[in-house]
Amino acid sequence: MLQLSYCGYCGGELVHPADGPDICADCGRPTYADPKVAAACIITIDGGLLLVKRAIEPQIGKWSFPSGYVNRGEEVEAAALREVVEETHLEARINWLIGVYSRSGHPVVLTVYDATAIGGEMTAGEETSDIGLFPIDDLPELAFEHDHGVLRDWRAERRRRGLVTL
């Protein structure tokens, strides 16, 4: 993983103890390299899974769920819905939390919600080069490692809730 080199308070050099946060050699303050929280929404419209084609790195050109990073101080659910608006111009509401996905050694913690589109007009946003509705059994190449696990969990929960399985 990437390491910070300098103290955010005084600009001093950070030392990296094996156990615990980085410590500034000058002012002694700790610097915590916190995880990044991201949020995504699974939305279906007319039986198709809403995916966006990424116009930015990472995984430019591949498809994924509308998603993005949660801002500091922002409610996670609000961030998930904000990303849907930014990437698809659709307004949505959250139904339930599908899961929280993380991997040892990786800085991103992904939260994924089932959501329903309630308004707006589906068009690609700035960080999106294309947008589409795909049959669940005929998806394009997905961008992220977690994506297939997310879909598995989502389909299992839909079955559990007695919802139509796509």
Residues binding Zn ion (CB under 5 A):
7, 9-10, 12, 24, 26-27
> Shortest Cβ distance from residue 1 to Zn ion (Å)?
21
> What's the closest the beta carbon of residue 15 comes to Zn ion, in angstroms?
11
Give the pairing of strands 108-120 and 36-45.
parallel
Choice between 13 and 130, CB closer to Zn ion: 13
CB 80 to Zn ion: min, Å = 35
Q: Which lies closer to Zn ion via its Cβ, residue 15 or residue 118? A: 15
Q: How distant, in Å, are the alpha carbons of 57, 128, 162 from that of 64?
A: 12, 10, 26
Pick from 37, 68, 43: which is nearest to 143 by CA? 68
Bond before 35 cis per omega within 30 degrees: no
Residue 23 or 124 with smaller CB distance to Zn ion: 23
